[in-house]
Each structure stands twice: as structure tokens, then as C-alpha cells.
């Protein structure tokens, strides 16, 4: 029924999942509180970046170092991974079986790893072009913000691998379901942080 | 017999609900893609003044964040949505702390440069 009440952020399992759906309510709200505190953390790192964006100390600035193409590819990879995680959530909710769930999770993982790969390549080429973190206040702030997000994505990838292992061992039991729902929130949240990164850091830096 | 018809009706409802959920993700991905292509194109082929470009990037980013919250995280205006309140409260904290930090540091930079 479309009238079914939504209890928590992210895709709701719904009544068909009985007790698991009830347990999701508090668990996911608690995780949501953590995500919002993480958002505050990111916000403060953004603030330190914006205040030191002009502190290049005679070194290279955003225009000399940023590569719009790499960022564009990373953005598309992360957006696609958000969509494929949505498909995994649907496979979980509508019980399409283990293969489809793990399949979509695997595609999401591949896109996440692709994102990390492109990002590491971009950062290394920046360092190669004289943009090492120790060069200026601007670069220190940059290397505080971007790898912080990258580490979050890497943590999400590790978590995803653990979840696939749990699915293989325990099947789709209550704990595994709640784990997938929480990782979905985490993953979508990181994509929202990335919107702020590509807009404030890269696009505004190259505009 | 009645149980079977009941199951069939339930399955149809579930099918409908699944299509609705799928549409949410599809719309989200489509709108987010559009809101990504637009600012990248504006920066790649600059056609508007610098300040307008910055404002445009900001507005499009905010729009895309709302799209993600609505279609991927399914945040809405239904009753008793503590999660929405938490987002708004966190946004308030962020605005106060981030805008305050930038204001103070920009003012400091200006005064230091004047001396």
C-alpha cells in the first residue's frame, strides 16, 4: 500500500518484513544522528578549506592543479554507484534473491573502487605538479578535505565487502538487512558530501 | 481459494509499490545527472560573469542535494519525521559555524592586509 508509513530515512523495508522493519526504526535513526554529526565534521573542514583557499604562499593555486575531467568522471561514478545501491536496496526489500542483491552490491563496489582509483590518480598527479600537501596552507586544507571524503568511501567499500561476506554466511537475516540499510544511508550521504566538494572546491576553484 | 486471491492482490500491490520505489531512484538519478551536467558545462564553457557563475554553481548544488535527500534517502514531509528535523537542525549548526568561521577569517585577512 502506498499509505504505509515511512519510519526512517532511506528505503523502508515495509510490513512484509515484519519484525525486521520494526527494529529498523530506532537503529536507523541512531545511524542518521551519526551521519549528521559527520556532516558537521565535513562542514568544519570545508570552512578551513574556504578560509585558506587564497593562502597559496606563492605556490600553485586551484587553476594550476585541478583537472575538471577527472572530477567529472569521479562525480558520474559516484552518482551511478548511488543508483546501483538503490537497486540493491530494492532487491533486498522485494526479496529478489541473493544473486541479484549481491550482484548490485558488487556493481556498487566496482564503481566505488573506480571512484577511489580516479581520485588517487588525480591526487598523485597534483603532487607531481608541485601541489604536495606541505607546499602551502591552501594545499594542506585541500589534502585535509578530499582524502577525508576518499577515506569515507574506502571505509564504505570495506563495509560493503564485509556485508557481502555476512550475506554469504548468514543469509538475509535481520542483522544483515539492517546493515545493508545503514550502509545505504552512509553511501547516499557520501554522495551528498561529494556534491559540496565538486561544487565548492573544484567548480568554484576553476570558475 | 480466498487465500489465493488475497495473495494475488497482495502481490499486485507489492508490484505496484516496487515500481513506485524504482521510479524514485530513476527520477533521482536523472535529475541529479542533469544538475551535475549543467554546472560542469557552465564552468567548461564559461559564458556568464564570474559572480553569477559562482551563484549558479551554489544554487545547482543545493538543488542536487535536495534531489538526493528526496529520491535516494526518501526524506519527505510526512508526519513525525524526526530525520528531517535533524537535517534542518544540523544545517542550522553548519550555517552558523561555517559562515561564522569564514566571516571572521575573511575579516582578519582584510585587516591584516591593511596594515
Cβ-based contacts of B17 with chain A (< 8 Å): 1-2, 4, 14
Listed by start position, the domains of chain A span 16-206
* Smallest Cα distance from B65 to chain A, Å: 6
Q: Which of B43, B71, B104, B109 is the mutation pick for testing A, counting most A CBs within 10 A? A: B43
Report the distance separating Cα B74 and Cα A30, nearest Å: 17
How many CB pairs lie under 8 A apart between chains A and B? Answer: 130
Cβ-based contacts of A6 with chain B (< 8 Å): 74, 76, 78, 81
Block means of pLDDT (10 residues each) for chain A, length 207 residues?
67 83 84 94 96 92 95 98 97 93 97 98 96 95 97 98 96 92 97 97 95
A16-206 maps to CATH 1.20.120.80:
yes
Residue among A16, A43, A199 minimizing CB distance to B14: A16
- Say what the ipTM of the complex is: 0.92
For A35, counting Cβ atoms within 10 Å of its Cβ (0-12 exposed, 13-18 middle, 19+ buried), the class is buried
Reply yes or no on whether the pLDDT at B27 is more than 70.
Answer: yes
Reply yes or no on whether the pLDDT at B55 is more than 60.
Answer: yes
Cβ-based neighbour number of residue A65 at 10 Å: 22
Report the distance separating Cα B54 and Cα A190, nearest Å: 23
Interface of A with B in 60-89 (CB under 8 A): 68, 72, 75-76, 79-80, 82-83, 86-87
Report the distance separating Cα B29 and Cα A196, nearest Å: 17
Residue among B68, B76, B86 minimizing CB distance to A192: B68
Listed by start position, the domains of chain B span 1-74, 79-115
A5 touches chain B (CB under 8 A): yes
A29 touches chain B (CB under 8 A): yes
What mean pLDDT comes out for the span B64-84? 87
DSSP codes joined into one string, B14-80? HHHHHHHHHHHHHHHHHHHHHHHHHHHHHHHS--S-HHHHHHHHHHHHHHHHHHIIIIIS-----TT
Reply yes or no on whether the pLDDT at B108 is more than 50.
Answer: yes
Q: State chain B's mean pLDDT as an integer.
A: 90
Of A68, A197, A60, A198, the C-alpha closest to A132 is: A60
3-class state of residue A11 by DSSP:
coil
Q: Give yes or no for a contact between A101 and A92, defined as CB atoms under 8 angstroms apart.
A: yes
What is the dihedral sign for C-alpha A87, A89, A94, A97? positive
A16 touches chain B (CB under 8 A): yes
Cβ-based contacts of B58 with chain A (< 8 Å): 199
Amino acid at each position: 500500500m502506498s499509505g504505509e508509513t515511512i519510519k526512517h530515512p532511506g528505503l523502508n523495508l515495509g510490513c512484509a518484513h515484519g519484525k525486521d522493519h520494526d527494529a529498523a526504526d530506532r537503529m536507523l535513526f541512531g545511524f542518521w544522528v551519526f551521519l549528521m554529526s559527520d556532516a558537521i565534521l565535513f562542514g568544519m573542514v570545508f570552512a578551513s578549506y574556504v578560509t585558506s583557499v587564497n593562502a597559496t604562499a606563492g605556490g600553485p593555486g586551484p587553476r594550476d592543479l585541478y583537472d575538471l575531467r577527472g572530477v567529472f568522471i569521479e562525480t558520474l561514478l559516484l552518482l551511478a554507484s548511488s543508483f546501483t545501491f538503490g537497486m540493491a536496496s530494492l532487491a533486498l526489500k522485494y526479496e529478489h534473491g541473493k544473486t541479484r542483491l549481491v550482484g548490485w552490491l558488487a556493481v556498487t563496489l566496482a564503481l566505488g573502487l573506480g571512484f577511489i582509483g580516479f581520485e588517487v590518480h588525480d591526487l598523485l598527479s597534483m603532487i607531481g605538479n608541485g601541489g604536495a600537501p606541505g607546499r602551502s596552507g591552501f594545499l594542506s586544507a585541500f589534502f585535509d578535505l578530499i582524502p577525508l571524503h576518499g577515506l569515507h568511501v574506502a571505509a564504505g567499500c570495506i563495509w560493503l565487502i564485509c556485508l557481502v561476506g555476512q550475506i554469504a554466511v548468514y543469509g538475509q537475516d535481520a542483522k544483515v538487512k539492517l546493515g545493508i540499510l545503514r550502509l545505504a544511508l552512509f553511501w547516499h550521504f557520501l554522495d551528498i558530501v561529494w556534491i559540496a566538494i565538486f561544487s565548492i572546491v573544484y567548480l568554484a576553484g576553476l570558475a | 481459494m480466498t487465500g489465493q486471491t488475497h495473495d494475488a492482490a497482495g502481490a499486485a500491490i507489492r508490484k505496484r509499490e516496487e515500481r513506485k520505489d524504482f521510479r524514485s531512484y530513476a527520477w533521482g538519478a536523472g535529475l541529479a545527472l542533469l544538475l551535475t551536467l549543467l554546472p560542469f558545462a557552465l564552468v567548461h564553457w564559461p559564458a556568464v560573469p564570474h559572480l553569477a557563475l559562482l551563484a549558479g554553481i551554489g544554487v545547482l548544488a543545493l538543488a542536487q542535494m535536495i534531489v538526493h535527500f528526496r529520491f535516494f534517502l526518501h526524506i519527505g514531509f510526512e508526519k513525525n519525521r524526526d530525520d528531517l528535523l535533524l537535517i534542518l537542525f544540523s544545517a542550522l549548526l553548519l550555517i552558523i559555524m561555517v559562515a561564522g568561521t569564514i566571516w571572521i577569517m575573511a575579516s582578519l585577512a582584510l585587516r591584516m592586509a591593511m596594515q
